[in-house]
Structure 1
């Protein structure tokens, strides 16, 4: 039984690393798409620099946890990867639910919609969270 739980440690850590790369890719893509230039005074619909830095810090934490999982051959560090995943997911969901509709209400003619970066960030955050939770369940089964 213990063999079954630990054999997936590598793929879970690799999933967290790939999701971290997805977050980095999502941070380089546009998080809002609008067809024309916005009129003066319209708030910028892109994810702001502070939240991008929070996502980048979450990736650094997740990468460190994935490295510790390989170095220590334990699932406990990887179980904590759900926290950076939740941070990234929360930041993007806030952006999608609060910021983009707010800009559209302020300037309805702008037709601001989520960009590719928002969807990549959301998928990467969810994948990171899922891998962390899977590692947590593996630790619980093994213990």
Structure 2
């Protein structure tokens, strides 16, 4: 259930804006939005997590869901890279643009952290059961 909710959060985050820049950026400035390649990586992580959740229910074991922490770390890493590296770089080029993280970036970050926590909780449950 938690894996499904976090997967929906990632999908929602991918459809929302990941950068808010009310000012006009100068020509040649890279678009501060999360690029298509990184969005596809996050979408692939959701697909992997959905597959692991399905295997968890099909096998009635928590081991596959424990691996959901890895795609969660990927999503979290992608978004943190986007927040820490991309956005401050754009504001240094054009401070008047006032580029700030959009709602999609925050939804993706929370979903990635929740996906990681879900996987880790399942891993600890498996370890306690063994």
Q: Is the shorter-chain TM-score for this pair beyond 0.5, marking a shared fold?
A: yes
Deviation of 1:107 after TM superposition, in Å, equals 1.0
Whether 1:128 and 2:115 are equivalent positions in the alignment is yes
Q: Deviating runs (4+, > 6 A) in structure 1?
A: none
Unaligned 5+ residue runs, structure 2? none
Deviation of 1:37 after TM superposition, in Å, equals 2.7
Match of 1:62 in 2: 49
Task: Please tell me the root mean square deviation across aligned C-alpha atoms, in Å.
Answer: 0.6
Show the 5 A alignment for 1:51-90: 51-90=38-77
CA deviation map 1:74-101 (0-9, x unaligned): 0000000000000000000000000000
CA deviation map 1:23-69 (0-9, x unaligned): 00000000000113322111110000000000000000000001111
Unaligned 5+ residue runs, structure 1? 1-13
Match of 2:102 in 1: 115
Match of 1:26 in 2: 13
Deviation of 1:126 after TM superposition, in Å, equals 0.3
Q: Please report the TM-score for the alignment, with normalisation by the length of structure 2.
A: 0.98
Q: Which has the larger radius of gyration?
A: 1
Moved more, 133-142 or 35-44: 35-44
Contact 2:22–2:97 (CA under 8 A) maintained in structure 1: yes
Q: Please report the TM-score for the alignment, with normalisation by the length of structure 1.
A: 0.89
Question: Alignment length, in residue pairs?
Answer: 130
